[in-house]
């Protein structure tokens, strides 16, 4: 039996030192974005006459999806300290391709190219569901290839990303305008209905889970498909990428390219991968927008708006425009915050011509919350970390 004096005093638990606290400190931008989103989204649902219903969630999911994807697309190059001005254009181009590839015609979709009197039959997509799936994969491949082109121009052309992507963006819009000089095209009605509704509608449209009537499925039937897709893409594409060597190299390039080079990290591979992955995400966005609108539209102002909003989402989501810190999950929340702000104009009575002013003020406030840490720095040097 030992006396109390011999027992070393147990170390007092301090929250600041726990691993959770460290994680929180490292991801303060992401945490702020999530908290802000939860507050304003809850407020929206409380104020909405049909709040917390599947219909409203579906409507919000449809509206958010494309911007969330484009914001993720912007995040990856930004993490490598490069800005991608082509995301909106890339998204638009993939949408225009989709409006040809996803018609879902039962006899199959022939792919023709008419160029200056030349009539080339490239291939024929099979009809039915197989054709639709092949078409969707083709769209994503096109987006990924365009992203790869961005990366190659930046790395091998040694051109500043912002200029390189300004140029490639013009090319993508050019292709989009060539494909769809006027808005139009056709996308399979049921594909549109299945992708832009709740899981229950999805199941009954594609005839799985006993047309969505399986008892185990009932508790899940209210979840909107777009939200499921966002989670799947984030979990299956972004998270593994971030954990890979290439993914970590992207962060390293963004925070100190020289140091990353001296450490022997694959810098070129990381940059190309960053733009390629961005192309894939933007392709997902373009594909969904085309499915949602059942058409392709080479809309120049819209492409520009998406590019600008993607940058705003990245910043609100806590990613530093200087690169090296943040992540795509934050950008998803950034995109959602950006959207939810405009939701309020539909519920509260705000003079229509004052709405852009309010939107700007709220946005500025949202971004400022992330900058609050400035008030707590003890040493100005900390700001440069």
Partner 1 sequence: MNWAVRISGLAFASLLLSSVAAFAGPKIVSGPGANPECFKPWSDKTKFFQWDKKPGPYRIALVNGFVGNTWRIQMVKTAKAFAEQPGIKENLKEFKVVSTGTDVAAQLGAMEDFINQGFDAIITIAVAPDGFDRIIRLADKNNVVVVPFDNILDTDKVMMVNEDQKEMGRMSAKWLIDESGKTSGDILEVRGLPGNSVDRDRHLGFREVMEAPGNKFNITEVVGNWDTGTSQKVTADALAVHGHFDGVFTQGGSDGTVRAMMDAKQPFVPMSGEGENEFRKQIMEHYKEGLKGMSYGQSPALVAIATKAAISALQGNVMPQLISIPIPVATYKTLKAGENYWPDLNANFFAPNQFLPCGVTFTAPEIMAQSEANK
Which residues would be at the binding site for partner 1 (CB under 8 A)? 48-50, 53-56, 59-60, 62-63, 65-67, 104, 106, 127-129, 182-185, 188-190, 192-193, 196-198, 200-201, 204-205, 207, 211-212, 221-222, 289, 292-295, 297-302, 305-306, 309, 339, 342-343, 345-347, 349, 351-356
Give me the least distance between CB of 284 and partner 1, in Å please.
Answer: 14
CA dist 161 and 147 (Å) reads 12
- Toward partner 1, which CB reaches closer, 127 or 266? 127
Structure-block tokens of residue 64: 């958010």
CA dist 93 and 91 (Å) reads 5
Give me the least distance between CB of 349 and partner 1, in Å please.
Answer: 7
- Toward partner 1, which CB reaches closer, 165 or 197? 197
Give me the least distance between CB of 274 and partner 1, in Å please.
Answer: 25
- Toward partner 1, which CB reaches closer, 257 or 299? 299
User: Running DSSP on this structure, what letter comes out for residue 125?
Assistant: E
- Toward partner 1, which CB reaches closer, 246 or 297? 297
- Toward partner 1, which CB reaches closer, 27 or 198? 198
Q: Is 361 exposed, middle or buried (0-12, 13-18, 19+ CB in 10 A)?
A: exposed
Give me the least distance between CB of 303 and partner 1, in Å please.
Answer: 9
Give me the least distance between CB of 282 and partner 1, in Å please.
Answer: 14
**Helices 355-370, 28-47: inter-axial angle, 10-degree rounding:** 140
Strand (E) or helix (H) holding 114:
strand 109-115
DSSP 277-288: HHHHHHHHHHHH
Give me the least distance between CB of 130 and partner 1, in Å please.
Answer: 10
Phi, psi of 178 (to 5 degrees): -65, -40
- Toward partner 1, which CB reaches closer, 37 or 241? 37
- Toward partner 1, which CB reaches closer, 64 or 260? 64
Q: Are 309 and 66 in contact (CB under 8 A)?
A: no
Give me the least distance between CB of 29 and partner 1, in Å please.
Answer: 25
CA dihedral 300, 84, 175, 185 (to 10 degrees): -60
Sequence-ordered list of residues with C-beta below 8 angstroms from that of 132, at least 6 positions apart, any chain: 102, 104, 188, 191
């Amino acid at each position: 039996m030992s006396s109390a004096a011999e027992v070393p005093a147990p170390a007092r638990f301090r929250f600041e030192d726990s691993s959770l606290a460290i994680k929180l400190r490292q991801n303060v931008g992401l945490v702020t974005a999530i908290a802000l989103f939860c507050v304003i989204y809850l407020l929206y649902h409380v104020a909405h006459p049909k709040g917390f219903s599947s219909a409203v969630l579906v409507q919000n999911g449809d509206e958010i999806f494309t911007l969330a994807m484009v914001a993720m697309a912007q995040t990856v190059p930004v993490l490598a300290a490069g800005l991608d001005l082509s995301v909106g254009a890339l998204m638009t181009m993939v949408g225009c391709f989709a409006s040809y590839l996803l018609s879902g015609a039962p006899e199959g979709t022939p792919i023709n190219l008419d160029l200056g009197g030349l009539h080339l039959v490239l291939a024929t997509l099979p009809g039915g569901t197989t054709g639709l799936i092949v078409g969707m994969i083709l769209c994503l491949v096109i987006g990924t290839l365009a992203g790869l082109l961005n990366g190659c121009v930046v790395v091998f052309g040694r051109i500043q990303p912002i200029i390189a992507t300004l140029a490639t963006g013009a090319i993508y819009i050019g292709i989009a305008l060539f494909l769809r000089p006027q808005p139009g095209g056709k996308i399979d009605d049921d594909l549109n209905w299945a992708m832009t509704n709740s899981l229950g509608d999805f199941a009954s449209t594609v005839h799985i889970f006993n047309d969505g009537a399986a008892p185990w499925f009932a508790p899940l039937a209210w979840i909107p498909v777009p939200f499921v897709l966002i989670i799947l893409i984030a979990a299956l594409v972004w998270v593994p990428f971030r954990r890979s060597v290439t993914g970590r190299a992207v962060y390293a390039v963004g925070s100190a390219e020289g140091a990353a080079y001296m450490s022997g990290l694959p810098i070129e591979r990381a940059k190309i991968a960053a733009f390629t992955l961005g192309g894939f995400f933007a392709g997902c966005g373009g594909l969904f927008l085309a499915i949602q609108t059942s058409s392709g539209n080479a809309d120049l102002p819209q492409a520009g708006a998406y590019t600008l909003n993607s940058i705003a989402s990245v910043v609100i989501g806590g990613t530093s425009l200087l690169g090296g810190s943040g992540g795509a999950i934050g950008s998803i929340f950034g995109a959602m915050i950006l959207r939810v702000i405009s939701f309020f104009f539909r519920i509260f009575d705000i003079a229509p011509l004052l709405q852009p002013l309010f939107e700007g003020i709220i946005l500025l406030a949202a971004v400022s919350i992330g900058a609050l840490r400035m008030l707590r720095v003890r040493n100005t040097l900390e700001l440069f970390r």
